[in-house]
Structure 1
Amino acid sequence: MNFRIRRLIFWSFIIAFFLLSPFIIFYTAGYRISEDGSLRIIKTGTLILSSTPRQASIILNGTDSGKVTPTIIKGLTPGRYEVTLTKKGYLPWKKRITVQENNATFVSDVRLFKDTAPVELLNKTNLSLWSKPRGTQILVIAKSNEAPHSFELSLLAKNPAAPIVPLASLDGDSLTPMDWSEDETRIIIQLDKEWVLLNLATHQTTTLSSSEILAGTFALHYSDNGLLYAATPKQIYLLEKQASKFVPRPVNQSASASTVTGHIDDFWIANSKLYEAVSLNEGSSLLRVSKLGSLNTASVALVDSGTYHYLDSDATTLLLTHNSDVLIYDISSLAPTLRTTIAGSMEAVIADTGAILYTRGFELQRYSAATNSHTLLVRTTTPLTSIGWLPGSQYALFSTNNNVYAIDTEGPELYTSWLLLHYDALQGYASTVDGSILYFAGQMPDGTSGLFERSL
């Protein structure tokens, strides 16, 4: 090769270097040419992913990225991506996300649900489950098939050797659990027309006598500090423990209930406050709030006349149901204020995060008080039968005629749902407080009836 050719090659490399260097620098700095035909130079985005459990494979727009969680994926062209996480033994997780220019998009704390079959714990029919909202205990109620009926009450325990702890046996035609004490050591039960207190530690039951309960009593509730309150249509009263008996004492701050021309439809206690839904004879309704232990009372007129009932509450939010509507109140102060009304809904529940899950026809929706916005999560082809939140998470549970699903309620575009159970008949379900186990009472497709557990 002569000198002239070598010099030509040398200068060719020099020219190529100077021509390509800006592109190499731009590329390594995260810049790309836009794919929309405008030939713009754009900055790429970053995707940061994590999951529980770890080591889930990451698929972007149907192509395996070769990476597993937790990881950081850089150099992504801005735009919409369908992210799928897969792991052996778990159901796949999928969501649409948008990667923005010169920004990091977080897909963090993704929960993967186990792909497992339910295990039978108890082979019985006529079972139901009951738990305190955001509580730790789950009560199992087994009703005998033959009259006169008896009810076997048990607690579920996370103990493989003894998953069911027997509590008591009660005889009667109907049994309705009414309330838990705040520390979940006692339960109020309505057995036919009697009121029964069940101590979960001693397994002892106490039936309240006619001298302890005023005539016309329709509800009993525990206060935050463990005191027992009851209601007649005209008055709220405290059941004060004296020796071995309860003595009914009128509650001063509720004495005005005797002076109004109407009756109490429902009452409940939350955040050391006593709430009463009152129907007035002149056709209107009001919500009265009293601070326990003081004479501070506030009353607000309810939107329409008729009967109102309590659904759920937390420190700042109260849910009431009226006809076929759910009313959401702000209770951060003594006098509640109406945030919004959800027409056509009869079921709603508050998450630990403050979000509200509710049904409307065949739709499952989420309401955010912070933004006063409603988000459609899923529309089903069969009626929704029950809903609930997995404790301390963005994941919710809902059931239809034959299935129980989990759903990721965080958006913005695709809300992934997972089929957890398929059944022939549902009598109730509940999850443990850590969300690791789902218990189900009902009949499976193979005809087996009883209590089942499914690891989540």
Structure 2
Amino acid sequence: MSKKTRNTLLLIFIILFIILTTLFSIYASGYKFNLSWPIRFNRLLQRTGMLIVETKPTKAIVYLNNKPQHNPSLKPWRKDYLVTPAKIKNILPGEYELRLENEGYWPFIKKININSGETTFIKEINLFLKTTPTLVLPCPEDSLIISPDSKYIYSQNAKKIITLKTEEVKELEVPNEAPSTWLDNNKLLVAGVLFNPLKNTTENYADLIGANADSWRFETMTGYLYYKNKNTINLFKPDNRTSTLLLSGGDYLDYKPKNNQLFILIKKDNQIFLEKIPSTNSQKESWLLPATGDYSFSQNLANYLTVYDKKNQTLYLFNETKIGDGPLVIKNIKNWALMDINNLIYTNNFEIYTFDLTNNRSTLITRRGTAIKDIIWNAEKNYLIFSEKENLNVFDFKNHNVTSLLAGEEIISPVLNTKDNTLYFWANINEQEGIYKILL
């Protein structure tokens, strides 16, 4: 080899070394050539961004603009797909469609923005199982309520208790359309009948009191039962089976016993009041409500006593120790759930909001094109389940992404078994009406 050839090769190697070193330095510094057509020289060299993605469960394949991402490797013939948890470097700035796919799960699809010199975090993504609904109990349209320990469901129209572990069904002998509620001790109260599904025992207090007794309530702290009898409110002590008259002569719209106190909604001279009847000699408190409402007590939220006006779709939240201070008021509200001690999530027909109880402020989260019927908040996994007339959906609260789980002719009354992450609901699917379940 001549000296001239050696010098030429040396020069070529030096030039290649300089070029490659420069390219690797640019790449390592987070820059990348943008060779899209037409070429824009002011954007020929751009600083890139990074994407970090995490899912539950893991090992979801990552797609950007329908292109599967691959693991960087010194073996270019290997085409291993990049799966979560994933860190993708040197992405050109811009908008991308992120899609995450895991076999047996619904895909996660979301528009994301990658910014120059920044890291975009898409974390705590819940992927939901793609499962076929299983029929638990054939029945006409029904409303479901689940026990606090997530072991039993009561079908209110069919008047049947379903043991979720075995799916054994027991029919109760109670009046039609009787109001029902699960108590904190996981007993079911229906029209004065107290049923214990664990021991399979029934205590019928309505037979003791008489057919005129209705609007039964249970007070957890004392274990006492309350009931209305025409225009009276009465106390029943199950241990000695004695009744005591508490109030009489009023137009009592609704009442709620709590912590050995009694709260009533009463109509006086065409005015409606919320009143607190203390158990001791302390002063009675009251608050005047708008006269046009259709009021009832609902389940307490955090430390608030809740009164709902169904006619005007307004929720009143009272500090139960200071009724006279007045309520927090949320208007245009149909369904709600407590997110944590300071926050509420609620819907009207087409919108989902959060409400901050500490500063009395609502925040719009999302809008839907179809009316929202029922909602369930899963605090542990930070997502909202909501039903529409023909769809069952999940809203990932952190990532603001909606996953459609199921479509049917009609879907109502979902309840969640948080212990095994199973969702129960009534639906009409392929002309089969009944109570179904799916695993999330």
What is the identity, as a one-letter code, of the residue corresponding to 1:200?
P
TM-score (norm 2): 0.77
Deviation at 1:276, TM superposition (A): 3.2
Give secondary structure in 2 for the equivalent of 1:385: strand
> Hey, what's the Cα distance between the residues in 1 that align with 2:92 and 2:260?
54
What is the identity, as a one-letter code, of the residue corresponding to 2:189?
I
Give secondary structure in 1 for the equivalent of 2:398: coil
Give secondary structure in 2 for the equivalent of 1:392: coil
Larger Rg: 2
Q: Which residue of 1 aligns with 2:103?
A: 88
Question: Do the aligned partners of 1:30 and 1:43 also contact (CA within 8 Å) in 2?
Answer: yes
Query: For residues 63-78 of structure 1, what are the structure 2 equivalents within 5 Å?
Result: 63-65=67-69, 66-78=81-93
Alignment of 1:155 onto 2:162: yes
> Hey, what's the Cα distance between the residues in 1 that align with 2:183 and 2:255?
16
Q: Which of the numbers 42, 47, 51 marks the counterpart of 2:55?
A: 51
What is the identity, as a one-letter code, of the residue corresponding to 1:155?
I
> Hey, what's the Cα distance between the residues in 2 that align with 1:330 and 1:77?
53
CA pair 292-426 structure 1, distance change in 2 beyond 3 A = farther
Q: Which residue of 2 aligns with 1:451?
A: 435
> Hey, what's the Cα distance between the residues in 2 that align with 1:202 and 1:285?
42
Question: Do the aligned partners of 1:315 and 1:331 also contact (CA within 8 Å) in 2?
Answer: no
Deviation at 1:28, TM superposition (A): 0.7
Q: Which moved more, 1:402-411 or 1:84-93?
A: 402-411
Query: For residues 427-446 of structure 1, what are the structure 2 equivalents within 5 Å?
Result: 428-434=413-419, 436-445=421-430
Q: Which moved more, 1:55-64 or 1:320-329?
A: 320-329
Alignment of 1:30 onto 2:14: no
Q: Which residue of 1 aligns with 2:196?
A: 199
Q: Which residue of 2 aligns with 1:350?
A: 338
Question: Do the aligned partners of 2:265 and 2:296 also contact (CA within 8 Å) in 1?
Answer: no
Q: Which residue of 2 aligns with 1:182?
A: 184
Alignment of 1:310 onto 2:297: yes
Alignment of 1:138 onto 2:139: no
Q: Which residue of 2 aligns with 1:247?
A: 243
CA distances 1:256-275 after superposition (whole Å, capped 9, x unpaired): xx8xx9754334467x5857
> Hey, what's the Cα distance between the residues in 1 that align with 2:87 and 2:102?
18
> Hey, what's the Cα distance between the residues in 2 that align with 1:429 and 1:205?
27
> Hey, what's the Cα distance between the residues in 1 that align with 2:331 and 2:45?
47
Q: Which residue of 2 aligns with 1:422?
A: 408
Deviation at 1:170, TM superposition (A): 0.4
Give secondary structure in 2 for the equivalent of 1:218: strand
> Hey, what's the Cα distance between the residues in 2 that align with 1:87 and 1:293?
61
> Hey, what's the Cα distance between the residues in 2 that align with 1:385 and 1:97?
30
> Hey, what's the Cα distance between the residues in 1 that align with 2:216 and 2:205?
13
CA pair 368-125 structure 1, distance change in 2 beyond 3 A = closer
Query: For residues 114-133 of structure 1, what are the structure 2 equivalents within 5 Å?
Result: 114-125=129-140, 127-132=142-147
Q: Which residue of 2 aligns with 1:164?
A: 168
What is the identity, as a one-letter code, of the residue corresponding to 1:342?
K
What is the identity, as a one-letter code, of the residue corresponding to 1:53?
P
Query: For residues 363-374 of structure 1, what are the structure 2 equivalents within 5 Å?
Result: 363-369=350-356, 372-374=361-363
Question: Do the aligned partners of 2:373 and 2:412 also contact (CA within 8 Å) in 1?
Answer: no
What is the identity, as a one-letter code, of the residue corresponding to 1:432?
N
Query: For residues 5-20 of structure 1, what are the structure 2 equivalents within 5 Å?
Result: 6-7=6-7, 10=10, 14=14
What is the identity, as a one-letter code, of the residue corresponding to 1:406?
V
TM-score (norm 1): 0.75
Query: For residues 102-121 of structure 1, what are the structure 2 equivalents within 5 Å?
Result: 102-121=117-136
Give secondary structure in 2 for the equivalent of 1:25: helix
Q: Which residue of 1 aligns with 2:368?
A: 379
> Hey, what's the Cα distance between the residues in 2 that align with 1:353 and 1:11?
72
Give secondary structure in 1 for the equivalent of 2:161: strand
> Hey, what's the Cα distance between the residues in 2 that align with 1:333 and 1:248?
25
Deviation at 1:432, TM superposition (A): 1.0
What is the identity, as a one-letter code, of the residue corresponding to 1:198?
F
